[in-house]
Structure 1
Amino acid sequence: MAENRAPEYTEGTPCWVDAQLPDVEAGKRFYGELFGWTFQEQPDLPSGAVRALKDGEPVASLAHKTDGRLPTVWTVSFATPDAEALCRRVRAAGGRIVSAPLPVGALGVTALVTDPGGAVFALWQPAGHPGFGRRHEPGSFAWVQLYTRDTEAANTFYGDLFHDALFGPDADPDFGRAPVSDVFPAEMPPHFLVHFAVEDLAATMEEVTRLGGRVQVPPFGTSYGTAAVVTDDQGASFALLRR
């Protein structure tokens, strides 16, 4: 087992990320070169979706965006032992269910929801697939930041929803909240920004540009490291993080 893999993710812990892309093959080329990922076809995943591996361990998945009206995005999944029950709590707390819990073969159950501010995130109830095989290492998930218009309301919503993961004795949240205007224009909608760890921020930004992506926000300091916001060559935003 990889050193940074949790044997069981506490409810509310980020446990997976996936990108919805118009062109999965182009995504494989971009992220394969950028992070050294290799890719594995998964019979349990929807048609065209692939699992990304770093040093043989699962770190993400790329899926084909089936509706052109939907954004090209990275989505974070939070672990839960019971997706149905958590969906009820999300709705009761003022969130919205975008896609009701749905089995993904023998891998687990997924659902897509929003918080009261409209930020979209996924839930993952694991079965055959517990989540990240590697994290906190170069080329793997490192952090997710919620950019929101009301941090106090967000802290209340997520604090109630994911209390143990955020505040429990074994808390390892990998999850922060900040005002949209800290980094983005004020009109930017609330959203989650997935961060991947890198060893050399400047060199990785140059590689993003070489591969057809762009730097959206140049490096800035945070409480959890130095980050830069970039987009891939299909417009999906993510962050690079140097700790």
Structure 2
Amino acid sequence: MLTTRYAPGAPNWIDLTVRDLDAAAAFYGAVFGWEFLGGGPEVGGYGMFRIDGKTVAGMGPLMREGANPAWTIYFHTPDAEATAKAVEQAGGSVDMPPMDVMTLGRMAVFTDPTGAQFAVWQPGENRGLDVVDAPNTLFWTELYTTDAEAARGFYRTVFDWNLREAPVPGGGTYLLVAPSGGGEETTQGGIMQLRPENLEGETTSNWHPYFAVEDCDAVVARATERGATVLIPAVDMEGVGRFAMFMDPFDATFAVLTPATPPTTPGTT
């Protein structure tokens, strides 16, 4: 499970970059009940999604030429420079070198050898998200990759993750991810090999956030009514829960999950 007691290699921040902040704030407010608090010109309009005054995600405008709207997952690092070196040595690329975000912390953005983009956050005054593993907050992170073996070696080198194999219905292997030294109770996400039909369709490698919801089908209805496209219809997975995946109206992908075991309430993680 995710926790705000952030360990190195654990997800500690997520954010959305889009062309229209107001439209995205309205969409996610309707789907999850989030309130968006926009920042000023000094932060380029970057702001925070919140529930009950607690930050659950960030959002900002697209800043780079040719960039597409997307959710980005950040993993905790105690040393962004060291992580950048590890990424390059393991065959990844540095898209945005480590930089200070005022006194809040340091960030860097990378692409793994299979083409999936991710980021790291080295906490300063901002240690990370205020709440996770609760309704309408980050609950799981997942990599769909063109090469699971390459991804396994890369992330193990960069973050020293604990990776465990789990069978997939219909065949295949799913890698469960936990921080270094973490047991099953610290599992934070998974790595999934894209199926041949996905590869033939030129699906690319991507990290996706999963948000816990109390009623997956109700969220599917709200999201689609407001312009989202269903990529994976709501489906039950034994022992996991009921999940669905979308592309929002701005072309960013995310998923929702009603867990088989209900998540905790905000403020208890």
State the TM-score, normalizing by the size of structure 2. Answer: 0.82
Identify the residue that residue 243 of structure 2 maps to in structure 1: 227
Structure 2: distance between partners of 1:45 and 1:208 = 32
Of 108, 111, 118, the match for 1:111: 108
Of 119, 122, 128, the match for 1:131: 128
Structure 1: distance between partners of 2:123 and 2:115 = 25
Identify the residue that residue 86 of structure 2 maps to in structure 1: 89
Query: Aligned to 1:27, what secondary structure does the other structure show?
Result: helix
Query: Where does structure 1 lack aligned partners over 5 or more consecutive residues?
Result: none
- Give the Å deviation of 1:169: 3.8
- Give the Å deviation of 1:44: 9.2
Structure 2: distance between partners of 1:155 and 1:122 = 17
Report whether the alignment pairs 1:209 with 2:206.
Answer: no
Number of residue pairs matched? 239
- Give the Å deviation of 1:68: 5.9
Structure 2: distance between partners of 1:114 and 1:214 = 26
- Give the Å deviation of 1:159: 1.9
CA RMSD of aligned residues (A): 2.1
Of 193, 203, 217, the match for 1:179: 193
Q: Which residues in structure 2 correspond to 1:153-164 (within 5 Å)?
A: 153-163=150-160
Identify the residue that residue 17 of structure 2 maps to in structure 1: 20
- CA gap of 1:98–1:224, structure 2 versus 1, over 3 A, is farther
Identify the residue that residue 240 of structure 1 maps to in structure 2: 256
Structure 1: distance between partners of 2:130 and 2:258 = 20
- CA gap of 1:67–1:167, structure 2 versus 1, over 3 A, is closer
Percent of matched pairs sharing the same residue: 34
Identify the residue that residue 195 of structure 1 maps to in structure 2: 210
- Give the Å deviation of 1:131: 0.9
Residues 21 and 27, structure 1, Cα contact 8 Å, conserved in 2: yes
Structure 1: distance between partners of 2:91 and 2:41 = 32
- CA gap of 1:38–1:184, structure 2 versus 1, over 3 A, is farther
- CA gap of 1:128–1:167, structure 2 versus 1, over 3 A, is closer
- Give the Å deviation of 1:95: 0.7
Residues 183 and 217, structure 1, Cα contact 8 Å, conserved in 2: no
- CA gap of 1:142–1:50, structure 2 versus 1, over 3 A, is same
Query: Aligned to 1:51, what secondary structure does the other structure show?
Result: strand
Query: Aligned to 1:69, what secondary structure does the other structure show?
Result: coil
